[in-house]
Structure 1
Amino acid sequence: MSAQLRAGHIPADMIPPGVDPRTVVIVHHTPAPRSYTGPIVLTVVVAAGAVGVVMTLCLLMQITAQTAAAVAAAAPAGVGLSIPLTRRKGK
């Protein structure tokens, strides 16, 4: 029935008995405008969460790099950082 109303047709069951159909006016109800608050807030929260995850990973990598640099500086030269190579003499 709403398709008929959108097309401008007046269904016969909506006209009261004894009324001239040419004088009947159907008032269309338009829905309230959609609120975009929810999708906007969701987008902001997702973006903030993504930034938080990236910042956490960057902090973790920085701490790991600092720890590796401190361990390498504290270790005596050549310990654990070099591979001894042995040469075989030809036969």
Structure 2
Amino acid sequence: TPPLLPISTPSTSRRAEIPEADTPPRNRLLLATLRPGCETREALARSEAYCRALEVRVAVLETRAHLLEWQRQAADDFAVQHIMRT
């Protein structure tokens, strides 16, 4: 097996940005590209937003169904009242 590459320890500097000149060439590409986890988090956020939108749509449809049921019951009550009067 090939020898393991040395692991560089992270800088203890509090600076958020590291100048490119201070970055080893093999790490520049890693710092310049998106990490696979970022795409996963974005996909998860999109999925959660889609689920919330579906939940809202279901709530609207349930509310509409309850309203229609209430209207149907009211119409039935009017029909029964009419039959009882005649």
Q: Under a length normalisation based on structure 1, what TM-score does the superposition of the two structures give?
A: 0.50
Question: What is the Cα-based RMSD across aligned positions, in Å?
Answer: 2.7
Task: Give the unaligned 5+ runs of structure 2.
Answer: 11-23
Alignment match of 2:53 (pick from 40, 48, 56): 48
Give the superposition deviation at 1:76.
2.3
What is the rounded CA distance, in whole Å, between the counterparts of 1:68 and 1:45 in structure 2?
35
Report % sequence identity: 12
Q: Aligned pair 1:75/2:75, yes or no? A: no
Give the superposition deviation at 1:74.
1.8
1:5-64 CA distances to partner (integer Å, 9 max, x unpaired)?
A: 1338xxxxxxxxxxxxxxxxx655235332343122112211111011111111111100
Name the structure, 1 or 2, with higher relative contact order (CA <8 Å, separation 6+). 1
Task: Give the unaligned 5+ runs of structure 1.
Answer: 9-25, 80-91
Alignment match of 1:6 (pick from 8, 14, 25): 8
Instruction: Report the structure number with the largest CA radius of gyration.
Output: 1
The number of equivalent residue pairs is: 60
Higher helix share: 2
Moved over 6 A (4+): none
Q: Under a length normalisation based on structure 2, what TM-score does the superposition of the two structures give?
A: 0.52
